[in-house]
Chain A
Amino acid sequence: MKGLPPVVITAIVLVAGFAICATQYPNIASTRVVGNLLTDNAFLGIVATGMTFVIISGGIDLSVGSVIGFTTVFVAIAIERLGIPPWLAFVAILVICAAFGAAMGGIIHLFDLPPFIVTLAGMFLARGASFLLSTESIPINAPIYSTVSDFALRLPGGGRLTAIAIIMLIVIAAGALLLHLTRFGANVYALGGSRATTALMGIPVGSMTVRIYMLSSALSGLAGIVFSFYTAAGYSLSAVGVELDTIAAVVIGGTLLTGGQGTVIGTFLGILIQGLIQTYITFDGTLSSWWTKIVTGVLLFAFIALQQAIIVLARRSVLRRAGATS
């Protein structure tokens, strides 16, 4: 079990699941379906990339869904009601989101508070703010929106790789690069291993915490922009409960919820597994959407139990060693 990293298990689950689905509904194994799957889950992939950083660093961010909702409303109002050029609205919202995340990270670090409760307050705040902006769904008709949604790379077999799917793939690639190949990424793992030790090793823990939550919120903002492309509207109730889907995808992707271990690519696989379940349900036609939640819950339990087992086994072997030799 120790030789098999959780991300490999995730990959096996995905491949096996895909194989099962494809034998029942051969159409699933087409670029068309896969392309749609990527498009439908594009915003989720982006926000989950940020969540991966947060969770590996030993934290959690419950505010992501609300930030997405706020972003869609903000963008819609800025473009449609205030006539601000879309690119300016995008930059503005990304800056706002980054500042929001920085504030949460700062509070977590400065006041030594549990991340879940601070980001919970952030969740209320962002959702409340988006309600204040507007409670109605605002359609967005800016030309760039139709341009973006019309754009797609043709895949062999009739599939379409849409612009927002491409954005997600870029974010995931960049996230993987940042996490696995830079000092920043190494520090994220270090924080998840032990905050105290990391500080002792000379890493500025406070600024790392701020930057990690900044990253998560900024990516939530980007996910919000993508979501607004996807729905061509801004709505304050959009993306409710997305934080749960995101956390589930990250954990199913093999990231340790207690921090210190995980990969961006695993998170991507976790997103694909969730997307696959939805696709299967759509194909089946008789099953209903709630099965997604139940199956996700079962997978969540399986991965958490698996990780707990690994931890307990590791601890036992350490104890046995220590006991036998001292």
Chain B
Amino acid sequence: MMARLPRHGLAQILALVMILAVDRMVSPQFFDLRMQDGRLFGSVIDVLNRGAPVVLLSLGMVLVIATRGIDLSVGAVMAIAGAIAASLADSHSLPLVLAAALGTGLICGLWNGFLVAVLGIQPIIATLILMVAGRGIAQLITEGRIVTFTSPDLGWFGAGAILGFPAPVVIAAGMLGLTVAVVRGSALGLLIEATGGNARASELAGVGTRLMILAVYAWCGLCAALAGIISAADIMGADANNAGLWLELDAILAVVIGGTSLFGGRFSLLLAVVGALIIQAMNTGILLSGYPPELNLLVKAVVVLAVLLLQSPRLAGLAGLAARLRGARLRLKGAKA
């Protein structure tokens, strides 16, 4: 069950390899690594390090999207968690700081889940509320300033290293491992895919679909809070205005690139992570090439459109695939008749 990667993910992995190859052409030292103060440095490590927040976000987002949902509030949740962590860091012990930040993320996720699962509000609308209000809440916590801290404990989450790897990379990898273990090691994965594939039928098969939906939003909030802690630790401070700004869009993009349909059902955690790394490899490549970093947005726009159009059944219609799908749809209607 866990090894459901290769066949489906070939295109994504090839894309990542190609982008890395282009990066190598742009910057011959791209794959060079060096050790300094017990920590690895190099462009590849940089891709992983800078990509860690989006990787974390996409781990939550992919589960939400698998249930046919979407969470627009993760960037705002990052800002809130970062603000809490930064403002508590110098006055409280690390476990308390982490518990407060992660707990807040969990509460934010549960709030979104409550609106979607219990009140039945469309996910895009439900999570818009926190997207709007969340940044205000974060600013309320920081009182509109950029809150800096000096605690090396929290700072470790940005600048620390384990076995030479930067802490954000290790944390993101650990979170990936944990999510895969929880989701694929329990029945959660199957039940989430069933819920996203056909919620009515799943409910009738005895699946607690509401609980599933609540759980994925909660997880998404938790992942976002962790990403917020890392981002705050990275700059030793919290900037409520800019922390996680537009990262929800990167996370959605990563999931879409990873081949998970916006219409729910099948999902792949590993490919969502590959998607996040593709985005970061492009970012880094553009930086290294000396082009203005602003080009990023254009490239992202083109990638979004390309991936969407590739997934769109209408485009495949040229090859007759759509005709078959339409046939299937008609058959569906016919069977109802």
Contacts and interface: CB of A to CB of B under 8 A. Distances in A.
A244 B297 contact: no
Given A111-B309, A116-B124, A132 B294 contact: yes
Nearest to A130: B294
Interface string B240-278: 100000000100100010000010000000000000000
Interface stretch (A1-9, A81-89, A185-193, A284-292): A284-292
B50 interface: no
B306 to A, nearest CB: 10
Given A290-B139, A297-B129, A128 B296 contact: yes
A128 B70 CA distance: 24
A296 B262 CA distance: 28
Given A111-B314, A122-B301, A308-B119, A294 B131 contact: no
Nearest to B138: A290
A298 B133 contact: yes
A248 B143 CA distance: 23
Contacts of A125: 297-298, 301-302
Contact of B315 (A111, A257, A289): A111
Contacts of B296: 128
Interface residues of B, number: 46
B328 interface: no
Contacts of A236: 294
Interface in B268-300: 292, 294-300
Contact of B137 (A116, A132, A247, A294): A294
A131 interface: yes
A305 B249 CA distance: 25
A304 interface: yes
Given A120-B249, A298-B133, A304-B121, A131 B294 contact: yes
A297 B133 contact: yes
Interface in B134-177: 134-140, 143-144
B45 interface: no
Interface in A104-159: 107, 110-114, 116-118, 120-125, 127-129, 131-132, 135
Please report whether the interface of chain A is mostly helix, strand, loop or mixed according to DSSP: helix
Please report whether the interface of chain B is mostly helix, strand, loop or mixed according to DSSP: helix
Contact of A288 (B126, B143, B256, B309): B143
B49 to A, nearest CB: 23
Contacts of B314: 110-112
A124 B297 contact: yes
A128 B136 contact: no
A26 B125 CA distance: 37
B15 interface: no
A22 B17 CA distance: 63
Given A112-B312, A120-B304, A135 B120 contact: no
B40 interface: no
Nearest to B70: A116
A301 interface: yes
B16 to A, nearest CB: 20
Interface string B89-123: 00000000000000000000000000000011110
B132 interface: yes
Most buried by B among A121, A289, A294: A121
Interface in A306-321: 308, 312
B133 A128 contact: no
A132 B292 contact: yes
A110 B318 CA distance: 13
Contacts of A107: 305, 309
Contact of A121 (B125, B140, B304): B304
Contacts of B70: 116
Interface string B168-195: 0000000000000000000000000000
B132 A293 contact: yes
Contacts of A127: 297
B197 interface: no
16 contacts: A110-B314, A111-B312, A116-B124, A120-B249, A121-B304, A124-B298, A128-B298, A132-B295, A236-B294, A288-B143, A290-B138, A293-B133, A294-B137, A298-B133, A300-B128, A305-B121
Interface of A: 60, 107, 110-114, 116-118, 120-125, 127-129, 131-132, 135, 236, 244, 247-248, 257-258, 288-294, 296-298, 300-301, 304-305, 308, 312
Q: Which 8 A-B pairs have the closest CB atoms?
A: A297-B133, A131-B294, A293-B136, A128-B297, A290-B139, A128-B298, A124-B301, A125-B301
